[in-house]
Chains A and B, each alone.
Chain A
Amino acid sequence: MTPASAPMGARMATGSAALPDVSGYSIVPQRHWGRWLAVAAIALLLAGLVRAFAVGQIEWDYVARFFTAPTILSGLFNTVVMSVGAMALGIALGIAAAVMRMSHNPVLRGVAIGYAWLFRGTPVILQLLLWFNLALIFPTIGFGEWSWRTVDVMTPAVAALLGLGINQGAYTSEVMRAGMLSVDQGQYEAAKAIGMTRMRSLRRIVFPQAMRVIIPPLGNEFIGMIKLTSLASVIQFAEILHSAQNIYYANSRVIELLIVAAIWYLIIVTILTPGQMLLERRFARGAGGSR
Chain B
Amino acid sequence: MSAPPASPPLVSIVDVHKHFGGFHALKGVSLDVMPGEVMCIIGASGSGKTTLLRCINQLVEIDRGAIWVDGELTGFRVDGGRLHHLAEAEIARQRLATGMVFQRFNLFPHMTALENIIEGPVQVQRRRRAEAVEEARALLARVGLADKEASYPANLSGGQQQRVAIARALAMKPKLMLFDEPTSALDPELVGEVLAAMKELAASGMTMIVVTHELGFAREVADRVVYMDGGLIVEAGTAADVLNSPREARTRAFLSAVLS
- A194 pairs with B104, CB closer than 8 A: no
- Selecting from B117-125, B186-194, B210-218, the interface stretch reads B117-125
- A289 pairs with B155, CB closer than 8 A: yes
Q: Residue B62 at the A interface, CB < 8 A?
A: no
Complex Cα gap A291–B155 (Å)? 9
Q: Give B220-235 as 1s and 0s: 1 = Cβ < 8 Å from A's Cβ atoms.
A: 0000000000000000
**If A194-B120, A195-B172, A196-B123 touch, does A286 touch B109 (CB 8 Å cutoff)?**
yes
Complex Cα gap A195–B120 (Å)? 7
Chain B residues whose C-beta falls within 8 Å of the C-beta of A194 in the assembled complex: 95, 119-120, 124, 168-169, 172
- Selecting from A106-114, A198-206, A252-260, A263-271, the interface stretch reads A198-206
Chain A residues whose C-beta falls within 8 Å of the C-beta of B155 in the assembled complex: 289, 291
Complex Cα gap A196–B112 (Å)? 19
Q: Which of B100, B104, B110 has the most CB of A within 10 A?
A: B110
Number of interface residues of A (CB under 8 A): 26
- A195 pairs with B124, CB closer than 8 A: yes
In the complex formed, the residue of A with least CB distance to B94 is A195
**If A195-B92, A195-B95 touch, does A189 touch B111 (CB 8 Å cutoff)?**
no
Q: Residue A287 at the B interface, CB < 8 A?
A: yes
**If A189-B102, A193-B57 touch, does A287 touch B154 (CB 8 Å cutoff)?**
yes
Q: How far is the CB of A190 from chain B (nearest CB, A)?
A: 4
Q: How far is the CB of A182 from chain B (nearest CB, A)?
A: 12
Q: How far is the CB of B243 from chain A (nearest CB, A)?
A: 29
Q: How far is the CB of B236 from chain A (nearest CB, A)?
A: 25
Chain B residues whose C-beta falls within 8 Å of the C-beta of A288 in the assembled complex: 154
Interface residue SS majority, chain A? helix
Across the interface, B110 reaches (CB within 8 A) one of A190, A191, A209, namely A209
Q: Which of A194, A196, A208 has the most CB of B within 10 A?
A: A194
- A198 pairs with B106, CB closer than 8 A: no
- A285 pairs with B152, CB closer than 8 A: yes
Enumerate A161-198 residues with CB–CB distance to B below 8 Å: 184, 186-187, 189-198
Q: Give B188-216 as 1s and 0s: 1 = Cβ < 8 Å from A's Cβ atoms.
A: 00000000000000000000000000000
Q: Which of A195, A204, A205, A285 has the most CB of B within 10 A?
A: A195
- A192 pairs with B59, CB closer than 8 A: yes
**If A196-B92, A197-B88, A200-B124 touch, does A190 touch B107 (CB 8 Å cutoff)?**
yes
Complex Cα gap A153–B111 (Å)? 46
Q: Residue B75 at the A interface, CB < 8 A?
A: no
Q: Residue B153 at the A interface, CB < 8 A?
A: yes
Q: Residue B82 at the A interface, CB < 8 A?
A: no
Q: Give B76-109 as 1s and 0s: 1 = Cβ < 8 Å from A's Cβ atoms.
A: 0000000000001100110110111010101111
Number of interface residues of B (CB under 8 A): 32
Chain A residues whose C-beta falls within 8 Å of the C-beta of B153 in the assembled complex: 286
- B123 pairs with A200, CB closer than 8 A: yes
Q: How far is the CB of B259 from chain A (nearest CB, A)?
A: 31
Chain B residues whose C-beta falls within 8 Å of the C-beta of A191 in the assembled complex: 108
**If A187-B106, A194-B124 touch, does A286 touch B92 (CB 8 Å cutoff)?**
no
**If A195-B124, A198-B88 touch, does A189 touch B172 (CB 8 Å cutoff)?**
no
Q: How far is the CB of B109 from chain A (nearest CB, A)?
A: 5
Chain A residues whose C-beta falls within 8 Å of the C-beta of B125 in the assembled complex: 195
Q: Which of B89, B109, B169, B172 has the most CB of A within 10 A?
A: B109
In the complex formed, the residue of A with least CB distance to B107 is A190
Complex Cα gap A259–B189 (Å)? 67
**If A204-B119, A286-B153 touch, does A193 touch B99 (CB 8 Å cutoff)?**
yes
Chain A residues whose C-beta falls within 8 Å of the C-beta of B124 in the assembled complex: 194-196, 200
Complex Cα gap A37–B155 (Å)? 47
Chain B residues whose C-beta falls within 8 Å of the C-beta of A287 in the assembled complex: 109-110, 154
Complex Cα gap A288–B106 (Å)? 15
- B57 pairs with A208, CB closer than 8 A: no
- B110 pairs with A195, CB closer than 8 A: no
6 additional A-B residue pairs with CB within 8 Å, beyond A187-B106, A192-B59: A192-B95, A194-B120, A195-B125, A208-B110, A209-B110, A286-B152
> Could you give 12 example pairs across A and B, Cβ below 8 Å?
A186-B106, A190-B106, A191-B108, A192-B59, A193-B57, A194-B120, A195-B96, A209-B108, A285-B110, A285-B152, A287-B109, A287-B110
The chain A residues found within 8 Å of chain B, CB to CB, are 184, 186-187, 189-198, 200, 204-205, 208-209, 283, 285-291
